[in-house]
Amino acid sequence: MRRTLMAAATATLVALLPNTAQATPSYPDPRPLTGQEIIHDPTVMRLKSGGYVAYSTGGIIGTRLSDDGTHWDDAGNAFAEPPSWWYEYNDTGDPWAPDLTYRAGRYWLYYAVSSWGTNHSAIGVATSRTGLPGTWTDHGKVFTSETTDHWNAIDPSIIQADGKLWMSFGSYWTGIRMVELNPETGKAKQNATVHHLATRPDAPYAVEGPEIVKHGRHYYLFASYDACCQGVNSTYKIRVGRSTSIKGPYIDSTGKPMLEGGGDLVLEGHGRYVGTGGQSTFRDKGQDWLAYHYYDAEDEGTPKLGLNKLNWSKNGWPHVA
């Protein structure tokens, strides 16, 4: 009885105290994976033929294949050789941050080519009937940016909304932008308006890697904030805002616009899983999933694939599970 009374008194005291300890978020670990887990900026999809594919930064768009979404095998590269035009943007023909979608009976693979620290950049597109590596036909540039622009044409992400095809993109250089695409060619419409969706208040405007998802009556803009690509020193984290219009404004749950630095925290580093970001989403058997990379603090900061279920609260906000 004495222990019961003490426990009850303690519980009452905790309830009366400010909710400081409980304010610190905790995150579930990613799904346990086996095989080839090393990856960066993953885009994941279950193919119509069965099995899963993940494309990523590294190689000539590195590829991983899986029968069950748990064990992953290295499957080489999307392309045997870099298309010649890639060399306009870097000396090695190195592509970044692919995005995989399916529409009109074909798989569409968008990607970026650039060099570190410049916005002389381009987004390209390729198509395939199967979505498998080695089957892609490149169609050239979709949209470009130059050093005179206030945006950076990398990190593409595609969504269909209101009968139109849209591409969000952006990295630093005042943040996340969006343009309308021609659904026939998959490329930016001529003289397309460049919409502004998200930024940070101060230079270097550390927000990139957008992904827009429709859920219910809202569009949700996920983005990676802070520093990528520094191993265990990375501070990458994933934030989100939402809007009833594809064009925004996107706001977080407190009402702060993403154009003013807002964004609810969805996932950040915890334990061995450092610098979570470079995210994408996919849907499989009625379940939404969040794919991302993290830097493994127990493996010298090696970038690896993270997969978590993406669930939705009653008031419509996403959270990892």
230 CB neighbour count, 10 Å cutoff: 13
pTM value? 0.91
Please tell me the distance from the alpha carbon of residue 46 to that of residue 40, in angstroms, as a whole number: 18
| Predicted pLDDT of residue 9 | 39
What pLDDT does residue 24 have? 53
Total number of residues shown for the chain: 321
DSSP state of 27: -
Q: Which of 37, 41, 99, 252 is catalytic?
A: 41
Active site (annotated) includes residue 208: yes
Q: What is the pLDDT of residues 95-111, one digit of tens each?
A: 999 999 999 999 999 99
pLDDT for 176-198, tens place per residue? 999 999 999 999 999 999 999 99
Torsion of CA 28, 31, 32, 37, to 10 degrees: -120
User: Could you give the CA distance from residue 74 to residue 53 in angstroms, rounded to a whole number?
Assistant: 10
Distance CA 119, CA 116 (A): 9
Tokens of residue 107, six digits: 């798989």
Residues of the chain with pLDDT under 70: 1-24
In CATH, the number for domain 2-320 is 2.115.10.20
Task: Point out the catalytic residue in the list 37, 99, 155, 208.
Answer: 208
Q: Tell me: the pLDDT tens digits for 252-271? A: 999 999 999 999 999 999 99
